[in-house]
Structures are given as structure tokens and as C-alpha cells.
A and B are shown apart, each in its own frame.
Chain A
Amino acid sequence: MSGQPPRWYPSTNFHSSQKGGRSLVEAELEASVAWLIGLRWLAGIGVLIVTWSVNAIFKFRISPFPLYLIGAVILLYNIIFYFTEQRFKQTSISVKGYIGLAQWQVGLDWLAMVLLFHYSGGIESPAILFFIFHIIIASIFFKPRTAYGFTIAAILLVWGTVWLEFWGILPHRPIVGFIQEPLYKNIWYVLATLFFFGATGLISAFLATSINQRLRQREEEVMELTESLQRATDRLQALNDGARTISSTLDLTQVLNRLVKNTAEAIQVDACSIRMVDATGQILEEMAAYGLSQVYLNKGPLELEKNPLAREVLSGKVVNIPDTTQTNLLQYPSEAAEEGISSMLSAPLIGKNGPMGILRAYSRETDRFSDDDGTFLSAIAAQGSIAIENALAYQAIETLDATKSQFVRMVTHELRSPVSVMRSLLRTITAGYAGGLNDQQSDILNRAQKRVDALQGLIDDLLDLAAGKVELKSHGEAEAINLEDVIVQVMERFEVIAKEKEITFEWYNQSPGVLISTKATKEGLDRIFNNLVSNAIKYTLPKGKVIVSLERIGDEAYTIIEDTGIGISMEAQSQLFQEFYRAPNAKEIEREGTGLGLAIVKDIVTHIGGRISVKSKLGKGSQFTVILPVLKE
């Protein structure tokens, strides 16, 4: 039993935050009822013990039977209350149920108290004082009106008993030997005692209820404060979570969609939207919406000129419209009414260059939004603005990159056609289809042709690089490709050249019998291994070694192309995959070369979702490792 009496009040606006599935009020009521039941065991036992001791120890004469009966009845109905309370605990009983239970308890207690009072001598009974703490208990537990009701009932019952005994209608049951001269017939004594009893009862009730009310008020304030603190914490959490989700992507559509959804959830409203000022600066475009019907979204353009609300928000203000039927700020009031929108709250999305748009929350309730909501929406909008600006910047960069690549593709293609024709024409001469040439002419044309060939190679590489960045789709759709097949094809292609240079040219599948396929385009994979094997053979001196191996490790395919070639200096290794970079010792071996081959390889590998690395020692050889994700069966 706790030393502090718990309290309950059937308050109309009680705190409803759930703790373990029950409200605070219910929890308090339950505890109070249990507390009363606990006290009552003592009361019942107390009555039995005192009755026994009055007779046995103090040798006063008393008729003990009724008193024992009262004690027993108290214990008996307490047992019933105990089990009722246990049952209440298991089923979810409303606040009213608990109050009913409490009122029954207090009612029965007071009846028992009156009987005890009567059987222990009426006006002469020292038990009369016990009424005081009963009054205090009632004042603590109940609303003042109920407490006064019980107090007055107690006073009337005591008065009634005393007068009935006074007039001899009820028999007087004195504790014989306790008081020498009977007082119950002494009118002055009776009047005075009843007066002071009544006054004490009412004053006690007044004091207890007033103190209790003050405490209750304090507690309500604390509850309100707790609730608003909780709300503030929830919102901070929501803001934080929202910021993280929203910033986790750079895709503008995704940013906007997450922002509207998170905002609606954080403010706990039905709908939310984002509108952004278009390029003309006159129209607000619908960018993202959550919880709004298509009909409403298609209602028509939001024109700044006709929309005072939008103008006000874009001037940097948070605008709360508590009742959409009572404002002339809306451009489409009837559409809003049809959608069931009763109130709305709008905050500006402000970027570095001024207002970008509006973040708006909608509710079916009128007067839904508080000042707190305004501050909160404004905070979300500030965060959202940053995410939107980032996404916009990223979008701009992507567009720029695509435009640049497109430009490179166009230019290169325009370059390619004439070079291609020039090369074909030259070939007809050098191959002798256009008549004979003298040696010098032939030599000059051969040199010219070599240069044109190199130019052609450069242009083709540039095109590939640009294509990779614009749309890898132009290289065909990605599909499951068996890596072994691709490598075997590449190996066959270089067999003759390797043989001419007397290079040991071998390949090993370290995971025989295991299907190692990856999702890519055949051309892409061919390009990767063609370039790497071609380089290995090109930069390996005659009688050297080029070894290719394939192995599946976990969910990745490791292809290693190893040579005993000229090697790559540390400095060159760091720049190897950069566009147009060629290592100095590579230039010595082959003067013509675009420096784009490895850049393209890296580009394709990255697109497939893999990675490439190089290990090399100058003069010893190089090892390129291509790691590609394996397609799971």
C-alpha cells in the first residue's frame, strides 16, 4: 500500500496519452480503487479487534454481536469489491465503471460507519471522529459536489440516529462503564455535539476539496506541459526523420513526394501539397500532392495574379486559413469546399534566390491549425527547401551533363562520316583498286591512311564514351550474359596476334562448372575484356606472358588479366582511367592511341555495377582486376 493516496477525477478533458494501452485517468482510478480496498481490510479487522478488546481488556460492557457483524460485513463486501476490481482489471472498463465502483465503496463504508456509530453508543461514541477521515477521503477522490453530497449525507445520518435515540425510537446502545452519566438524553450536549460535528464535517470537506482542487489544477498544468513537451519532441523527431528521408535522394520527384507525405504525417492531417512557381513566375505548378483527389488537383492553374493567398505566402509568410468558407483569399473556393477542405495552412518554400513555391497542409476540420503548427510547417518547409534546391541543382547538373554528351555525340558523328569516307577512299588507292602508284606516292598515302585510321579510332572511342553517359541503352538492353563465353570469344580473337609475338596466352576458369553470369550488354562486356586483353598483348614484349583468369567469389566475379609487359609507373596508375591519359612508356610502344580505352572500360564497368583496379610494377608487368556483380539464379 502506498503512503500517498492516489487520486482520480472524472475530468472532461483528461489526458489521453496511452501508457501501456491505458489512459492515465484509468490507471489512477484503478490504483485508487485498489488502495481503498487495501485500507478496508484494516478497517474491518480493526473493528473486530477493538470490539474484542473493549470487552476482554477494558471490561466495558457492550453487546458485541452487532459490532462483530459490522466488521464481518465490511470484510465480506470488501471481498466482493476485491474480485470485482480484479475482473475490471482484466477487461477494459470505462472510467465511469470505476467511478461507480468507488461510489459504492464509499456509500457502503458510510453505512457501516453509521451502524458502528449507533452500536457503539451513538452520541456518546468516540467513533464519531472517524467520520472526519471518511469525509477527507471522499473529498480527495470525488468532485467537490459529490464530496459535499457525501458529507451532508453523513451529517444527516448521524443527526437522524442521534435524534431517533433521543426520542427513544431507536434503542440506545451504550458502552457500559465508558461514560458514567448517559449523555444521549442531554439536549444541550446533543445539540452542541451535533452542531460541532456538522460544522467540522463541512469545514473538513471544504478544506480538503479546496486543497485537492488546487493540486488537481497543478496536475492538469503539468499534464498539459508534458503533453506539449511530448508533442514538441514528436515533431522534432518527425522533422529529423523527415529531413533524413528527404535528403536521402537527389531525385526531385522523390524529394517532393516524400516531403508531402512526411509533412501530412508529421502534422497529422489528411492532405498536403507542394506547388512551385514556374519559369514565367506567374503560375504555381502542382509538383506533388498527398491525400488530394485528382479532380481537385486538376481544378486549373494557380495564377498568382488571381490568387491572393499564394501571393501572401510567397511574400514569406505562413498563412493559416481556419475556415475556407470565410475567406476571400482562395482562387478556387468552391473546389476546395467540394474536396471537403475546411482549413489550410501554407508555408513558403524559400530558396537562395527567393521564394520557390508553397508547402500546404489541408484539413477537413475547421480551425485545425495552431500557431505551433505554423511554426512547425515553416520549419519543415525550410528543410524541404534545401532538399528541393539540392535536387534541382543535381537535376541541372545531370541535364548539363546529358546536353554536353549529346553535343559531343552530334559533333563526333558529324566528324565521323567524312573521316570514314576519306578512309574508304584512301583504302581503294592503297589497296590498288584505282591503279598503280610509285613507291613514294604509296608511302605517302600509307602514312596518310595511318593518321586517318587513328583519327577514326579516336572518334569511335569518343562516341562510345559519350554514348555511355547519355544512354547505355543504345548499346542494347542489358541481359544475363555468361562471362566465360565472352572471355573465350575475346581469347580466340587475340590468339593469332599472341602467337605471332610468341606470347604465352592462356586462360583459366578457377570456378569450373559454376555458371558466372552478370547483367550487362554483350557489347559492353566484350568491350571491357577486348580492351584489357588487347592492351596486355600490345604492351607485352615478344615471348612474354598474358594470363586471364575468372573466378567467382561470393556474389562477385573476379576476372584478372595479368601480363609480363612493360608495366605502369605509380604516377601513371593514378591517372590511368582518366580520359585521354596515356602512360609515357605506352606512348613509346605505340605512338597512336586515344587514351580513351581504359576510360571507356571503367565507364562500362561502373555502369554494370562493378569496379576495376590495377596493380603494376614498371618493367615487370601489370595486373588488371575486374569485379562484376554475379546475377543470382
Chain B
Amino acid sequence: MDKKLILLVDDDPDVRLSLRLPLEATGYAISEAANPKEGLTAIKNSKPDLIILDVMMDSATAGFQFALDLHSEDPKSELKEYKEIPILMLTAIHGTTPLRFSPDQDYLPVQKFLEKPVEPEVLIASVKELLGE
């Protein structure tokens, strides 16, 4: 059985490293992107089974926008074949953004939130849960 592919979208290479190590050790294949644009290219190159997405990148809500585009309900969306890829979103709940985060199908099509810093065990458990393992 092929390793499942997880795409990490985060502008901080250190964060990507801290996510990558435990996930690779658990037996997942990892691809990385530093921003939503790179992320989109990576998705088109090889469709991941799961995306781990940072909320704040270029702007305070770049991650939100990326998730919204990807999971758009619009049938004409050019990304509609990626609509079903689950997204795990990393947030800084103590952050300066006044937005409240919670998974909400209408508002934000994201499957799960984790607050940074993420414990490796919690990360692995969440990933497994989203992949249905």
C-alpha cells in the first residue's frame, strides 16, 4: 500500500519541519508549500490525502481564503476535484486576530482545528482521525 500524502502549507519552514518529522516517522509521505499559491501548484501536481494549513501566512486570513477556495461549493469551481480533501487547520488562538475559530460547514469548510504549538501525539492522532484510520 502506498504511503498517504500530506501537504503542509505554512510559511514558517521550522513549523513545517516540526510537523514533518513526527508525520514521516509515523509513515506518511509529506509535501510542503510555503504559501497558498505554492500549495495550489503542489495539489495540482500530486493530489494529497490531507492538507495541514496554517491560518496566518501572507495575511492574517490567507489560510481561510485558501480553504474557502479549495472547498468551494460552486459547481463551476476549477478546484472542484479537490473539494473532498480534508483540511486540518493550525491556529494561534492567542493570536491578535479577533476572529473566532471553530469548524463550521457554512462559514469555513475545515474539518479540524489545532492550536499551535501542537503536541506530536495530538497531531498524529488528528491526522489519523481525518484520514479515517
A interface majority secondary structure: helix
Chain B residues with CB below 8 A from A410, complex form? 96
Instruction: Report whether A464 and B94 are in contact in the complex, using a CB–CB cutoff of 8 Å.
Output: yes
The residue on B at minimum CB distance from A463 is B94
Instruction: Report whether B17 and A425 are in contact in the complex, using a CB–CB cutoff of 8 Å.
Output: yes
A98→B24 CA distance, assembly (Å) = 110
Chain B residues with CB below 8 A from A424, complex form? 14-15, 18-19, 116-118, 120
- B14, B25, B98, B100: which contacts A433 (Cβ < 8 A)? B25
Instruction: Report whether B92 and A417 are in contact in the complex, using a CB–CB cutoff of 8 Å.
Output: yes
Chain A residues with CB below 8 A from B96, complex form? 409-410, 413
Instruction: Report whether A413 and B94 are in contact in the complex, using a CB–CB cutoff of 8 Å.
Output: yes
Instruction: Report whether B22 and A431 are in contact in the complex, using a CB–CB cutoff of 8 Å.
Output: yes
Chain A residues with CB below 8 A from B21, complex form? 428, 433-434
Q: Write the nearest CB–CB distance from A596 to chain B, whole angstroms.
A: 13
Instruction: Report whether A476 and B94 are in contact in the complex, using a CB–CB cutoff of 8 Å.
Output: no
Instruction: Report whether B119 and A427 are in contact in the complex, using a CB–CB cutoff of 8 Å.
Output: yes
Instruction: Report whether B120 and A433 are in contact in the complex, using a CB–CB cutoff of 8 Å.
Output: yes
For residues 66 through 116 of chain B, which have their beta carbon under 8 Å from a beta carbon of chain A?
A: 92, 94-96, 98, 100, 116
Instruction: Report whether A428 and B18 are in contact in the complex, using a CB–CB cutoff of 8 Å.
Output: yes
Total count of chain A residues near the partner, CB < 8 A:
27
Chain A residues with CB below 8 A from B92, complex form? 413, 416-417, 420
A-B pair count, CB < 8 Å, reads: 60
A432→B121 CA distance, assembly (Å) = 11
Chain B residues with CB below 8 A from A476, complex form? 100
Q: Write the nearest CB–CB distance from B47 to chain A, whole angstroms.
A: 26
A467→B19 CA distance, assembly (Å) = 29
Instruction: Report whether B121 and A431 are in contact in the complex, using a CB–CB cutoff of 8 Å.
Output: yes
Q: Write the nearest CB–CB distance from A522 to chain B, whole angstroms.
A: 11
Greatest chain A CB density within 10 A among B94, B118, B120 is at B94
Chain B residues with CB below 8 A from A412, complex form? 94
- B15, B100, B119: which contacts A421 (Cβ < 8 A)? B15
Chain B residues with CB below 8 A from A434, complex form? 21
Q: Write the nearest CB–CB distance from B2 to chain A, whole angstroms.
A: 21
Instruction: Report whether B120 and A431 are in contact in the complex, using a CB–CB cutoff of 8 Å.
Output: yes
The residue on B at minimum CB distance from A410 is B96
Chain A residues with CB below 8 A from B121, complex form? 431
Q: Write the nearest CB–CB distance from B18 to chain A, whole angstroms.
A: 4
Q: Write the nearest CB–CB distance from B20 to chain A, whole angstroms.
A: 9
In this assembly, does A401 line the interface, its C-beta being within 8 Å of a C-beta of chain B? no
A55→B121 CA distance, assembly (Å) = 136
Instruction: Report whether A421 and B18 are in contact in the complex, using a CB–CB cutoff of 8 Å.
Output: yes
In this assembly, does B12 line the interface, its C-beta being within 8 Å of a C-beta of chain A? yes
Q: Write the nearest CB–CB distance from A154 to chain B, whole angstroms.
A: 96
A424→B17 CA distance, assembly (Å) = 9
For residues 45 through 62 of chain B, which have their beta carbon under 8 Å from a beta carbon of chain A?
A: none
A464→B119 CA distance, assembly (Å) = 21
- B94, B98, B100: which contacts A471 (Cβ < 8 A)? B98
The residue on A at minimum CB distance from B119 is A427
A431→B118 CA distance, assembly (Å) = 13
Q: Write the nearest CB–CB distance from B120 to chain A, whole angstroms.
A: 5
A37→B116 CA distance, assembly (Å) = 100
A434→B25 CA distance, assembly (Å) = 8
In this assembly, does A78 line the interface, its C-beta being within 8 Å of a C-beta of chain B? no
Q: Write the nearest CB–CB distance from B57 to chain A, whole angstroms.
A: 12
Contact flags A299-317 to B (C-beta < 8 A → 1, else 0):
0000000000000000000
- B14, B94, B119, B120: which contacts A416 (Cβ < 8 A)? B94
Instruction: Report whether A433 and B22 are in contact in the complex, using a CB–CB cutoff of 8 Å.
Output: yes
Greatest chain A CB density within 10 A among B17, B25, B117 is at B117
Instruction: Report whether B98 and A428 are in contact in the complex, using a CB–CB cutoff of 8 Å.
Output: no
Q: Write the nearest CB–CB distance from B82 to chain A, whole angstroms.
A: 27
In this assembly, does A423 line the interface, its C-beta being within 8 Å of a C-beta of chain B? yes
The residue on B at minimum CB distance from A423 is B117
The residue on B at minimum CB distance from A422 is B14
Instruction: Report whether A421 and B117 are in contact in the complex, using a CB–CB cutoff of 8 Å.
Output: yes
A463→B18 CA distance, assembly (Å) = 24
Instruction: Report whether B12 and A421 are in contact in the complex, using a CB–CB cutoff of 8 Å.
Output: yes
Chain B residues with CB below 8 A from A413, complex form? 92, 94-96
Q: Write the nearest CB–CB distance from B74 to chain A, whole angstroms.
A: 30
In this assembly, does A298 line the interface, its C-beta being within 8 Å of a C-beta of chain B? no
Q: Write the nearest CB–CB distance from A427 to chain B, whole angstroms.
A: 6
Chain B residues with CB below 8 A from A417, complex form? 12, 92
Q: Write the nearest CB–CB distance from B22 to chain A, whole angstroms.
A: 4
Contact flags A418-443 to B (C-beta < 8 A → 1, else 0):
00110111011001111000000000
Contact flags B10-32 to A (C-beta < 8 A → 1, else 0):
00101101110110110000000
Contact flags A456-476 to B (C-beta < 8 A → 1, else 0):
100110011001000101101
- A428, A459, A474: which contacts B120 (Cβ < 8 A)? A428
Chain A residues with CB below 8 A from B94, complex form? 412-413, 416, 459-460, 463-464, 467
Chain A residues with CB below 8 A from B118, complex form? 424
Contacts A413-B95, A416-B92, A420-B92; is A427 near B100 (CB within 8 Å)? no
Chain A residues with CB below 8 A from B119, complex form? 427
Instruction: Report whether A427 and B116 are in contact in the complex, using a CB–CB cutoff of 8 Å.
Output: no
Chain B residues with CB below 8 A from A463, complex form? 94
Chain A residues with CB below 8 A from B22, complex form? 428, 431, 433
Q: Write the nearest CB–CB distance from B42 to chain A, whole angstroms.
A: 22
Greatest chain B CB density within 10 A among A423, A424, A425, A467 is at A424
Contacts A420-B116, A431-B120, A433-B120; is A425 near B98 (CB within 8 Å)? no
Q: Write the nearest CB–CB distance from B62 to chain A, whole angstroms.
A: 15
A476→B102 CA distance, assembly (Å) = 11
A433→B25 CA distance, assembly (Å) = 6
A433→B22 CA distance, assembly (Å) = 5
Contact flags A109-133 to B (C-beta < 8 A → 1, else 0):
0000000000000000000000000
Chain B residues with CB below 8 A from A460, complex form? 94
Q: Write the nearest CB–CB distance from A410 to chain B, whole angstroms.
A: 7
Greatest chain A CB density within 10 A among B12, B92, B96 is at B96
A427→B117 CA distance, assembly (Å) = 10
Greatest chain B CB density within 10 A among A412, A463, A471, A473 is at A463
A456→B94 CA distance, assembly (Å) = 11
Chain A residues with CB below 8 A from B19, complex form? 424
Q: Write the nearest CB–CB distance from B113 to chain A, whole angstroms.
A: 14
Chain A residues with CB below 8 A from B100, complex form? 476
Contacts A427-B119, A428-B21; is A421 near B14 (CB within 8 Å)? yes
Chain B residues with CB below 8 A from A425, complex form? 14, 17-18
Q: List 5 A-B contacts (CB under 8 A).
A: A413-B95, A424-B14, A428-B17, A432-B25, A464-B94
A-B complex: 5 closest residue pairs judged by Cβ atoms: A424-B18, A428-B21, A420-B117, A433-B21, A433-B25
Chain B positions within 8 Å of A, measured between CB atoms, are 12, 14-15, 17-19, 21-22, 24-25, 92, 94-96, 98, 100, 116-121
Other A-B pairs beyond A409-B96, A410-B96, A423-B117, 11, CB < 8 Å: A413-B92, A413-B95, A417-B92, A424-B117, A424-B118, A427-B18, A433-B25, A456-B117, A459-B94, A464-B94, A467-B94
